[in-house]
Structure 1
Amino acid sequence: MGWRRTRLATRRRPRQRQVQARPSSRPYDCFVADVDFLAVHAEGSPDKPALILGERAVDFSTLNKRANQAAHLFHELGCEPQDRVAIMAFNSIHGFEISNGLRRVSLVAVPVNYRLRGSEVAYLLNDSGAAVVCADDDHVDVVDGARPEVNGHRHYIATGNKRLEGWSSYAELMSGAPDGALAAQGSGGLGASMIYTSGTTGHPKGAWRPNGVNIENVLQVISIFGLNQSDVHLMCGPGYHSAVAFFAALHQVLGATVVIQPKFEADGALDLMERNRVTTSFMAPTLLKRLVDAQELKPRDLSSLRALILGAAPCPNALKVRAESVLG
């Protein structure tokens, strides 16, 4: 099926090129691109929407400044390169501000599965060694409930309006932070991360990418799926899923617009696709089935949609055939 119609593509993991380590004064031990893509787009397309959430749109210039403020915020908390920052939240504009800020001061993002509870959350925070823990209104109580089992000192930051004892306010910290570029050596590319697996044996394992995704693989994936700056990408799956965050970040590298759905809901996702003329999205086959079911019950105009990228699990051929028929 051609690109003029919805293309269902299965994501293949690019092969990692082995690079021999060499001594370096950089906080990361591999070659990374020094170009900050967000700063480039803020200068070249300052008024273009970078993010859309509901009725709110954030342009590249504003996101760039907010990322600078976030970088200053974590720097002032005493974070040092390669420190971990855990985030338990639904998809949000704050999440993009924080992830770009972390990249600019060479910190490691640790997305936390928002379905974890109690000792599961405590284990992940202890195992990752997170110096800072961020949570939104929907998860601040969950994280706070795990604190008795968390070893050592952590900075706890509430990104929403709910602020518990011992927590700092993200809004207050950001309001006092300058929006100019920080004189620190950040990481290029997509930034470093430690993403925990959901394996079937033992505790989750942290997959540490100290250099993020190298630029060769970024360009390879962009080329494979034909992504470009004019795309409008819907981020609707859970951001703690590596591929969901990866494809959203790829579109930011390109200077494309990312439409954010905080948590997947099929009818809501279809409405966002129609309203914002979405061209691409990534999701697991389970979400695709829900999307197809909802579209059959209440059809939307999805003529702008040209690529649904699938991953995380095998997709039955029957579902692909049905999706191509229903989605157009």
Structure 2
Amino acid sequence: MQPTLADTLEQTADKYPEKEALVYPRKDQSYTFAELDERANRLANALSELGVEKGDRVSTMLFNGSEIVLTAYACGKIGAVFNPLNYRLPGGEVSFICNDAESSVLLFEADTAEAVENAREDLETVEEFVYVDEDVPEYAHDFYDIVEAASAESPDTVVEADDVYAFIYTSGTTGRPKGVVHEHASMVEHSLICIAEAGLDKDDVGLSALPLYHCAELHANLFPRVHVGATSVIHHEFDPVAVLEAIDEHDVTQLFAAPTAWNGLAQTAPTVDADTSSLRIGFYGASPMPKDVLEACMEQFCDDYLQAYGMTEIGPCGVFQHPDEQLEKQGSAGLPALNHEIRLVEPDADPDATVEQGDIGEILLAGPCTMREYWNRPEATAQSLREHDGVEWYYSGDLGYRDEDGYLYVVDRKDDMIISGGENIYPTEVEDVLFSHPDVVEAAVVGQPHDEWGETVVAYVVGDTDAETLDAFLQDSDDLADFKRPREYEFVEELPKNPSGKVQKFKLREE
């Protein structure tokens, strides 16, 4: 038997019916696994009564809460395709994704009502709206009314492990998002890998404060906790003070955050009266943890941290850096996850065209959690997924190298590499040197067209400094060749980022 995601909840509810499954302080909600499973049944039946059938897409414009968790499992119970949207999207992008996915139902809340209202006229396939807060718009159904009115019996829809579980739209570092199609089987496998890598068990308490519409929080944290029988505390959104207080109040043992969020927590901790000694492991992704941030977190919180590298298309976790490797291999992404392989090849080349150890190549990944396809994007699918000798490889578009011990170091995006005067310049190495200046908070480097050199290096900087100071600093540095030095500096209040914290350099280039 290959279980589906709904099966993982039902099996846990059968084993630990009275164990606390989900706590949502914002609405003073607390559900045992039996109660969570029953409410997922009710929502699944309610969606069926709204006309949702197996294979139909159900979209959400929801912040973190019990509602988005229930929707994910309710869709799984009736074979509907879960489609969580970034709750910060404007109306135009909401309509683009819902139309592209051909969604039939859209769930939303007070904080996203304006974007949904702006999108309504352009929604081509959405027939039903469901609202999770008070003062329900006249065109929408009340979430809690339809859940309470629906049957608590388990739906009789037959859902197979190879059925589609979700369309997760990429957060877009290069332009319009694409719908990543994931199956139930691959996500169950992904949960097992994360459980093993993080050492999760039923006694853990995890806090979800980063967005659950994003696969890092959803697939690598919430799903594994439900699968193993651990408790999940849900915060509507990330707030450092509230997170620290929640760790104390709920004895949180496991937390995921991007390095920037961990830095915020470490900086805030000394000002907050909260006991965080229950935390046993910190989980992070999107980029390596800077050494000073890692050391600050170890001092303030716990000793053990686990990094995951990957992307939506592969689950997202394909490479892990384990707690005992954090300091020794600081800056690396780690080693392949269980049941995964990586290769470094000449960009866009055949998987056999591997580069020498230490040389930079495009990162290819193969594993059991890789997407089925990009929805309605056959050309993009063929470019990203290529079978070779019976193995399907995902071409990540990331560039990296492996050290003498096999550890992967991610250098940059292939599309972000700058070619100036015939020389390859990797923006990350320029950004690292800029970041070492004490007055630089953030930096992003891009290439701009140049008549003589092909491209020239431009740095976008957040910080209290100026171009002359930074240029002198880089000229004095032994860590950066002169031809890699930016020839132009732009000072900005903030850098455009996607939900996982990665800078959207295409927006900088467009400027």
Q: TM-score range by the shorter chain?
A: 0.7 to 0.9
Work out whether 1:172 is the aligned partner of 2:142. Answer: no
Determine which of 178, 199, 222 is the counterpart of 1:248.
Answer: 222
Q: Counterpart in 1 of 2:314?
A: none
Report SS of the residue matched to 2:298. Answer: helix
Determine which of 123, 130, 155 is the counterpart of 1:150.
Answer: 123
What is the TM-score when the length of structure 2 is the normalising length? 0.56
Q: Distance in 1 between matches of 2:163 and 2:211?
A: 18
CA contact (8 A) 2:46 2:146 kept: yes
TM-aligned CA deviation for residue 145 of structure 1: 1.6
Report SS of the residue matched to 1:139. Answer: helix
Greater strand share, 1 or 2?
2
Q: Counterpart in 1 of 2:270?
A: 296
Specify the structure having the higher radius of gyration (Cα): 2
CA contact (8 A) 1:103 1:190 kept: no
Work out whether 1:38 is the aligned partner of 2:21. Answer: no
Do the aligned partners of residues 171 and 58 (structure 1) sit closer, same or farther apart at CA in structure 2, a change above 3 Å counting?
same
- Give % identity: 29
Q: Counterpart in 2 of 1:216?
A: 189
What residue ranges of structure 1 are gaps of 5+ in the alignment? 1-30
TM-aligned CA deviation for residue 132 of structure 1: 0.7
Do the aligned partners of residues 236 and 185 (structure 1) sit closer, same or farther apart at CA in structure 2, a change above 3 Å counting?
same
Q: Distance in 1 between matches of 2:268 and 2:92?
A: 36
CA contact (8 A) 1:86 1:130 kept: yes
Q: Distance in 2 between matches of 1:83 and 1:181?
A: 19
Q: Name the stretch that deviates more: 262-271 or 183-192.
A: 183-192
TM-aligned CA deviation for residue 48 of structure 1: 1.1
TM-aligned CA deviation for residue 211 of structure 1: 3.1
1:255-292 CA-to-partner distances (Å, cap 9, x unmatched) read 11001111100000000000100000111111111111
Q: Name the stretch that deviates more: 285-294 or 55-64.
A: 55-64
Matched to 1:293, the amino acid is Q
Work out whether 1:264 is the aligned partner of 2:264. Answer: no
Q: Counterpart in 1 of 2:65?
A: 92
CA contact (8 A) 2:102 2:126 kept: no
- Larger relative contact order (C-alpha < 8 A, sep ≥ 6)? 1
1:53-110 CA-to-partner distances (Å, cap 9, x unmatched) read 2243111111111010011111122222221111111111122221111110111111
Q: Counterpart in 2 of 1:182?
A: 155
Q: Counterpart in 2 of 1:325?
A: 299
CA contact (8 A) 2:208 2:232 kept: yes
TM-aligned CA deviation for residue 214 of structure 1: 4.2
Work out whether 1:204 is the aligned partner of 2:174. Answer: no
TM-aligned CA deviation for residue 40 of structure 1: 2.2
Work out whether 1:276 is the aligned partner of 2:247. Answer: no
CA contact (8 A) 1:121 1:146 kept: yes
TM-aligned CA deviation for residue 153 of structure 1: 4.2
1:142-173 CA-to-partner distances (Å, cap 9, x unmatched) read 21221112224421111221321321111221
Do the aligned partners of residues 165 and 150 (structure 1) sit closer, same or farther apart at CA in structure 2, a change above 3 Å counting?
same
1:12-67 CA-to-partner distances (Å, cap 9, x unmatched) read xxxxxxxxxxxxxxxxxxx8425812222323222211011224311111111101
Q: Name the stretch that deviates more: 159-168 or 119-128.
A: 159-168
Q: Distance in 1 between matches of 2:161 and 2:281?
A: 27
Matched to 1:172, the amino acid is D
